[in-house]
Structure 1
Amino acid sequence: MSGSLWLKPPTTTPALPAVPRPRTPEPGPGAGAGTGPATGIADDPLDELAVRLDAFVAAAVHPDEIAALLESDGMTDDHIRLTYGRNDSFALAEDLYARVRRRHPDPPRKAAGAPGWAEGLGGCLLRGLVFALPGLAYVLAGPLLAGAHGRYGLPAGTVPLLAGAVTGWVWNQALSHRAYTWLGLGDRPAAARALLTGAPAGALAGTAVALAAARDGELPAAVFAAGQSLYLAAATVLLVLGRERALLVALLPLLGALPALRWDLPDPLRAALPAVSLAAACLIAARALRPGTARGAAGRGGPPLAASVPYGLFGLGSGVLVLHAGLGDSLATGTGAVIALTLSMGPAEWLLHRFRGGSLARLRTLTTARAFRRAVTGTLVLCLGGYLTALLALTLAATLLWPGTPWPDPDRLLALLLIGAVLWLGLLLQAFGAVLGAAAVCLLAAAAQTLEPAAGPLAAGGAAAVLAVLSHVLLVRPTAHRP
């Protein structure tokens, strides 16, 4: 898998409405200190508050939404007790919820030129394709990296390649979070500046780790890992900035690997095709980063660096799980599994968008918390089932089309589907801001599978169950879906 696996944030994020405040009337001439209204608050302040918040309260499907609005406006429990006679924001929210009849605004009409669901699917499938195409570089370079001996029962050169790849996944997931945060703030030059400084640093880190992991006879693999790290940095830049089509153009020379699946190619051609793709990706990424060189880009205080660490840890856990899917009992079978997982990231991203869109639609149309919970649970099951169906279909297609790939046995196929469930649920939690839980579960599953490979299906199954429970607990709350 290459580049960023992030779910793109929405282009606009409307803030919660401010609680309107009643104006205090100006004292008239001659008004004394103890005469006339001093606050402008009606005889029943709760009725007045219900009128002022009518539109928001009517659209709420749970009192917690109203409580979140009150707290975001700075209403303390002391203020609520003194002004409204309720113990806290939750009690006040429950009374407001009971007083206002449920009404929901009509869904906004689709803007002219806005992409439909089919067009959104096409874009996500394009991202899945650019995740998978770099794998053809390994087909081309495989004979050039072959050595006499390997470690841990793996082919020669595998260890430095994996070390560089995992380093790139960790670094670029954290970098993607930081850049996407800048984009969410509407500061594209600052995002470009973050990528301009972070992407080369990630390429250097991946190269250094690969060189440190190389042993005698693995120098060609370490050099290839350096190119791999450079490509991961360039791909992250282009994917975060929405330049998927440009990245696809850069990867087109790798299609020259298709004849290599059947026939032997000259070594100079095997080396030239990945080099051309790498050079093209780097040049296109450098061009896309030119706004980051402008004076003042990222000049103001940005998101804290520590906020990006959990996303890097999630990249580490998910990356190790994918490696275990590809390095099982049979390397040939693992190749088909990794191809299916990388291609499935396109449908995965589309289904994540569909889940978010469907949940927001339910907020506009449902009038009770119970109906919302039931609808969101059904949507979650449907989207997860859709992703696993797509992953199964891609696995079977890769088995049929990839030369030398044996038919996966049921246990291995089950393990692959469980890993897929962990990845999709982890990305879902990450998209809703619950990245710490997703990262912790993925890291524990990856560590268990590393320490005891035979426990792989059990570890992945346990992780999938925990993430499913976390997702359900978080996402059946209406407040989790409010922008």
Structure 2
Amino acid sequence: MSGSLWLKPPGTENPLPAIPRPRREGTVTPAVPGTPSPAGDGLAADPLDALVERLDPFVAVAVHPDEIAALLESDGMTDDHIRLTYGRDDSFALAEDLYARVERRHPAPEAPRGGPWHTGLAGCLLRGLVFALPGLAYVLAAPFLAAEQGRFGLPGGTVPLLGGAVTGWVWNQTLSHRAYTWLGLGDRPAAARALLTGAPAGALAGTAVAFATAAPGETPAALFAAGQSLYLAAATVLLVLGRERALLCALLPLAGAVPAFRWDLPDLLRAALLLTSLTAGVAFAALVLRPGVRRGAAGRGGPPRAASLPYGLFGLGSGLLVLHAGVGDTLVSGAGAVIALTLSMGPAEWLLHRFRGESLTRLRTLTTAREFRRAVTGTLVLCLGGYLTVLFALTVAATLAWPGAPWPTPARLITLLLLGTVLWLGLLLQAFGAVLSAAAVCLLAAAAQTADPAAGPVAAGGAAAVLALLTCVLLVRPTTHRL
């Protein structure tokens, strides 16, 4: 899994529309409710009628009065102004009155549907593939990573590998969010500049952690972890800038690991395949970063760096949960779970986009908040159910394809599906800006599993329940989708 699983936002934002103002000549004394307006000023006797006329296009498509209240507040209407001008207590009372006066007129959905939240399935499947292919590097490097003595009940060389990987996930998830934010602002050179400075720093951080945690005899594993950190940095650059095909080409040499499942390959060939793939990935990343080299590419201050930190924490929590899923009764069963989870990230991303697109369509076509809640809840259940079905199918396929792999026990299968629920709902909340809540839940679940590995099913089930509750509370509100 690379560090850039963060769901890309649409390239353009949809802010609240400005309240249109009538153009009139001269200075007009504000009208007071219940008093006639001066002759010839062109205003209605009741100021509320004029407001209804001006806001009619927006109010007609609102599915809840809260949307109208948000528009009024964004325009600077205070409660004192509303009481003086319109005779209502506050913006919510005025919004309810406007909502009741205007008939719902939702435009029909466009056909065929399109837009930034309707992405192609092929592109998402490609991303899932490039998330999973790096796992073949461990198959090629297995003879080099073996150490005489392990620690913490893990095989030798595992600690520096995990230290470098987790550091890379946290750093690159944070970096991805910052670069995507620049892309959302329409400044691709600035995004490239952020990646140009951040990706090498992440590679150095992962390398430093790997060597710092390596024990005597684990130097080969630390060297592999350094290459892994360099790959994660290059992969982050290519995925954020939309160069998945280039990354796939760089990973193709790793397909040479397939014969290694049955036959012993020469060490020289194993090393050559690993170095070829790593070199190609770094070279492709360097090529796409050329816009960031231009002077002044990121001259503006840009978004605050602290805003990207919760995304790094979510990367830490989700990464640790995936690592726990890889600790199975046997190495093979654990590897099969990780393969299924990483491959499922492609369909997961497509279903996230599908949910977002469907919810926006329902926002345009439904007339009441109750209908919207029911429709969004149904879409959420279908998308989550679809993802879990894909995850189950991939688990079965990985078990059948891996020579000698045992079938997962019902308890491990249920835990894997619960973990898939946690990851998908966490990514969904992250896409709607509730990343801090998702990160906190994932980190607590990962901490519980670290403290007591036997608590995996309970931790995953509790995290899934909490995230499901947070999702239902947040996403049934129409304002969440419109804003």
Which category describes the TM-score, using the shorter chain as reference length? over 0.9
Please give the alpha-carbon distance, in whole angstroms, between the structure 1 residues aligned to 2:223 and 2:40.
Answer: 77
Please list every run of 5 or more consecutive structure 1 residues that lacks an aligned counterpart in the other structure.
29-34
> Is 1:306–2:267 an aligned residue pair?
no
Offset of residue 106 of structure 1: 2.6
Offset of residue 86 of structure 1: 1.6
2:4 aligned partner: 4
Please give the alpha-carbon distance, in whole angstroms, between the structure 1 residues aligned to 2:98 and 2:432.
Answer: 27
1:464 aligned partner: 464
> Is 1:236–2:258 an aligned residue pair?
no
Offset of residue 16 of structure 1: 1.8
Offset of residue 7 of structure 1: 1.4
Cα-to-partner distance string for 1:291-324 (whole Å, 9 max, x where unaligned): 1111221111211011001000000000000000
Offset of residue 15 of structure 1: 2.4
2:32 aligned partner: none
Name the amino acid aligned to 1:449: Q
TM-score (norm 2): 0.95
1:338 aligned partner: 338
Please give the alpha-carbon distance, in whole angstroms, between the structure 2 residues aligned to 1:413 and 1:397.
Answer: 13
Name the amino acid aligned to 1:85: G
* 1:160 to 1:99, Cα distance in 2 relative to 1, 3 A: same
1:328 aligned partner: 328
Mapped contact 1:60–1:102 kept (Cα < 8 A): yes
Mapped contact 2:3–2:171 kept (Cα < 8 A): no
* 1:110 to 1:301, Cα distance in 2 relative to 1, 3 A: farther
2:130 aligned partner: 130
1:281 aligned partner: 281
Secondary structure of the residue aligned to 1:108 is: coil
1:81 aligned partner: 83
Matches for 1:241-320 after TM superposition, within 5 Å: 241-320=241-320
1:108 aligned partner: 110
Mapped contact 2:10–2:116 kept (Cα < 8 A): no
2:31 aligned partner: none
1:150 aligned partner: 150
* 1:156 to 1:430, Cα distance in 2 relative to 1, 3 A: same
Name the amino acid aligned to 1:466: V
1:32 aligned partner: none
Please give the alpha-carbon distance, in whole angstroms, between the structure 1 residues aligned to 2:43 and 2:327.
Answer: 69
2:96 aligned partner: 94
Q: 1:47 aligns with which of 33, 46, 49?
A: 49
Mapped contact 2:422–2:463 kept (Cα < 8 A): yes
Cα-to-partner distance string for 1:2-44 (whole Å, 9 max, x where unaligned): 231121211322322101123352159xxxxxx9689975321
Please give the alpha-carbon distance, in whole angstroms, between the structure 1 residues aligned to 2:75 and 2:383.
Answer: 35
Please list every run of 5 or more consecutive structure 2 residues that lacks an aligned counterpart in the other structure.
29-36
* 1:40 to 1:83, Cα distance in 2 relative to 1, 3 A: farther
* 1:40 to 1:452, Cα distance in 2 relative to 1, 3 A: farther
Q: Percent identity?
A: 79
Please give the alpha-carbon distance, in whole angstroms, between the structure 2 residues aligned to 1:36 and 1:366.
Answer: 41
Mapped contact 2:3–2:170 kept (Cα < 8 A): no
> Is 1:56–2:82 an aligned residue pair?
no
Mapped contact 1:388–1:421 kept (Cα < 8 A): yes
TM-score (norm 1): 0.95
Cα-to-partner distance string for 1:338-382 (whole Å, 9 max, x where unaligned): 000000000100000000011011011110100000000000011
1:404 aligned partner: 404
1:393 aligned partner: 393
